[in-house]
Structure 1
């Protein structure tokens, strides 16, 4: 009898058995994982986007270990927190005020609380099928739920959350005409957890403009995409001017840390004590050491080269499957993308739900795992590459995809 529910504490980490055997990871380094049997895998989950520098980076780990040796929980203000906040704020434009948390879900929750306090309004509008954390309010409308697939004339809502259809320009104006209690809209620069659905040209700016017209704030949820495209916020690359942003994952290279960054006038409600914040471990020394050392690494990293490397991999994967008679496409960016069975990437969640093929994705996951490459088994999953995924690693990945394509050809070739 196992005491751990479902073998793992987070449902996102559940994997199918391979040849009747469960997978348990022993350790990781760079671009690779090793299981408890000593088998080696190239990793493309990478802490679900958290590991961007590469697993177990020596410099980052050294800084974190030094912080741990000085006390994991000193209780009071400590010497690393201001430095980490300054390092983060230097990358987030006019969002210059910082509050640290421990997880992306916590950061989104706090951003929503700040928005409600600042505006005096009660509801948060989120993108249907977007993932903004697992806490009750924003878990409403997550991918694969019934309410995420709502149609014209419907508006799934709770007393604290309401939904928007991603890439539907008309639905934005309609929402605010229907409801005058919207404190903020949560935007994701890309609907990542729905399989990397890209925003239509002008859509994100349209949402921001309409929200501002009706007195709502804009929260950019950058827990996943922040610092992945460049050393800063993805929303700023899209020309957006959010009032608040939640960041996490890549800012600590896998060490648990997140933050809310915001404009000073909005964050003033926190400094005044009107929006409660807390957390015994928020802004702890190890997290702050991870942020400071990780951001220094990212400042020196070549994002352009990494993106080009990933886009070349995407093109190769499509050609590999084409060679065995299977048509696939990819969506996203070079260093984070989804794979779809079909010739057209989805433009919205309705199309994504129709394209999603759990059987194909599971078969692909298992075949690649046999070949030493780990991908998410969900049809809405993503492949990440880190700065440790050097050209030699990319070539290894191509070989694994060739193995998997050949194995799946009998069932999926046309």
Structure 2
């Protein structure tokens, strides 16, 4: 079949495999569910690749966005919703008290890197091998699945103004700065989500930050995925890491396209003074900032402890479901976002993740669950997200579906 849309979808990572010869096409989403074009309802664990913590199409967000649309979605000039959204966002990001809105996480990372280079007068950004910091050219080096991410050669992978370091390897941090005195910033994720939710080892992120500080480099917290997912704020702050700049997205807009850079006032002043260019016709538009303001009404009262507990119960339920049928699985990550591994233990670094990845079994699990109306990502490093809309009853349903799937997969 010929389509006008390349590959049938605008972002290749969002495509699902055909099942029974039929392509999955979503018709609508609400709460914890997605409906396909045949009106079949599925429990969803992709949640817009983590774009919502409160569930799909929350009525508070939908009403706020609808009102913004009715009032005019693009006045071009300043509007009061932008400052309101910035105040709400920075109220939860501690000393990173100034904000600039963008449309996507990739744009936010790009702007944060530009600010870091201007603030330090240096060129290079160091990122984690196998980390995902957007799809702009500079930071696509070393993404999970690339040969550079393996870091097997003697020479450190470097391209243009980006260089890599090994996640959870303390010695490699020291070696990086011994090799290169032109590091403007290190960009950190609280865990390597796109490499299978590999958590940072205790003290690792703090070591990176302290080493960067000692060598005059900044720290950018890439919290597009993890920010506001496990607590009301930046995940790295809960790990004792402060950062100089941070990027936020996904959870702050509940599915509406919006992201932001937050930072220390003296760094953000570079954009205000015109030293660093900031632009974008749609950046900070009324629809996006209305989504942020409405979402924060919900997030500030969200019972994160209960959300994480439901996620942890699901993780244990999945492990137990397979154990009953003689198959060992484990998980890595947090209660509201984690990866399933067909292995005895979860990986602690990317090399271990590569060794434990079982794409064939993950695809089989995806297909088995999908036939039972539960959606998970179909690839080995995929993530399961749990939202506040995934109630205890829905988690019970999910565990039951996993038990049925485990039984079928081990017959």
Q: Under a length normalisation based on structure 1, what TM-score does the superposition of the two structures give? A: 0.98
2:202 matched to 1:194? Answer: no
Is the CA contact (8 Å cut-off) linking 1:121 and 1:183 kept in structure 2? yes
Aligned to 1:214: 215
Distance in 2, matches of 1:375 and 1:362, equals 9
- CA deviations over 1:96-143 (Å, ceiling 9, x no partner): 010000000000010000000110100100000000001111111100
Is the CA contact (8 Å cut-off) linking 2:32 and 2:390 kept in structure 1? yes
Distance in 1, matches of 2:130 and 2:87, equals 34
Distance in 2, matches of 1:396 and 1:22, equals 25
Aligned to 2:205: 204
Per the TM alignment, residue 403 of structure 1 is displaced from its structure 2 partner at its CA by 1.9
2:228 matched to 1:239? Answer: no
Aligned to 1:398: 399
Per the TM alignment, residue 152 of structure 1 is displaced from its structure 2 partner at its CA by 6.8
Distance in 2, matches of 1:219 and 1:235, equals 11
After alignment, is 217-226 or 64-73 more displaced?
64-73
The count of corresponding residues between Structure 1 and Structure 2 is: 410
Where do 1:7-46 residues align within 5 Å? 7-46=8-47
Aligned to 2:154: 153
Per the TM alignment, residue 163 of structure 1 is displaced from its structure 2 partner at its CA by 0.2
Distance in 2, matches of 1:179 and 1:407, equals 53
SS in 1 for 2:159: coil
Distance in 2, matches of 1:322 and 1:399, equals 14
Distance in 1, matches of 2:214 and 2:283, equals 34
Aligned to 1:117: 118
RMSD of aligned Cα (Å): 0.8
Structure 2 residues without counterparts, runs of 5 or longer: none
Distance in 1, matches of 2:241 and 2:209, equals 7
Is the CA contact (8 Å cut-off) linking 1:231 and 1:295 kept in structure 2? no
Per the TM alignment, residue 154 of structure 1 is displaced from its structure 2 partner at its CA by 2.8
Aligned to 1:166: 167
Per the TM alignment, residue 399 of structure 1 is displaced from its structure 2 partner at its CA by 1.6
User: Runs of at least 4 residues of structure 1 off by over 2 A?
Assistant: 151-154
Is the CA contact (8 Å cut-off) linking 1:338 and 1:383 kept in structure 2? yes
Is the CA contact (8 Å cut-off) linking 1:173 and 1:210 kept in structure 2? yes
Is the CA contact (8 Å cut-off) linking 2:187 and 2:221 kept in structure 1? yes
Per the TM alignment, residue 407 of structure 1 is displaced from its structure 2 partner at its CA by 1.8
Per the TM alignment, residue 404 of structure 1 is displaced from its structure 2 partner at its CA by 1.4
Per the TM alignment, residue 153 of structure 1 is displaced from its structure 2 partner at its CA by 3.1
Structure 1 residues without counterparts, runs of 5 or longer: none
2:286 matched to 1:285? Answer: yes
Aligned to 1:62: 63
Aligned to 1:362: 363
Aligned to 1:6: 7
Is the CA contact (8 Å cut-off) linking 1:337 and 1:382 kept in structure 2? yes
